[in-house]
Amino acid sequence: MNFRINDQHWLDKVKRVPSPFCDSRQDETDISLLVIHNISLPPGQFGGPYIEQLFTGQLDPDGHPYFREIHQLRVSAHCLIRRDGEVIQFVPFNARAWHAGVSEFAGREKCNDYSIGIELEGTDILPYTPAQYDTLRQLTRTLLARYPQLSRDRITGHEFIAPGRKTDPGLAFDWRDYKTGLRD
């Protein structure tokens, strides 16, 4: 799939599920970090509407015991890449998604202010799918072309900007394969 980012900073031809959990960036031109995450709801299970429900404030606390702990979180990401490679966008790239929390990259705090957050449907220990890597590479190339402050050196995992607090995308994520594939 070839991605195109429109003038409103949404991807064309992907599913959009606007999240209320975002706000304006202080500087819309300061998009200089890409953060890779993972998520599965319930933990370790794939498919279903639960991630979309979480990112839109509609997760039913009675849907699963774990949901009682998280249903009131106000979190989002710019995009989710499902196991089959499908992309769902929740927040336009020029807005601040609430994905990084307390974080720091290269001595600069508050990564949400200047980053794009991409969630992979997965866990820290289960391999990601080839379709996810293909889609992530294509999406990354599109983001690198559109936002000039982004670079291969300014791509990181949640675990590296929030060490001790977060572990994703985890040991299962193949950074070498992902970044080598960006050269194609």
**Catalytic sites, residue numbers:** 119
End-to-end Cα separation, the chain, in angstroms: 15
Rounded Cα–Cα distance for residues 6 and 127 (Å) = 32
List, in sequence order, every residue forming a beta bridge with 157; answer none if it has no partner: 36
Cross-strand bridge partners of residue 81: 87, 120
Query: Strand 79-81 to strand 115-121: parallel, antiparallel, or no bridges (unpaired)?
Result: parallel
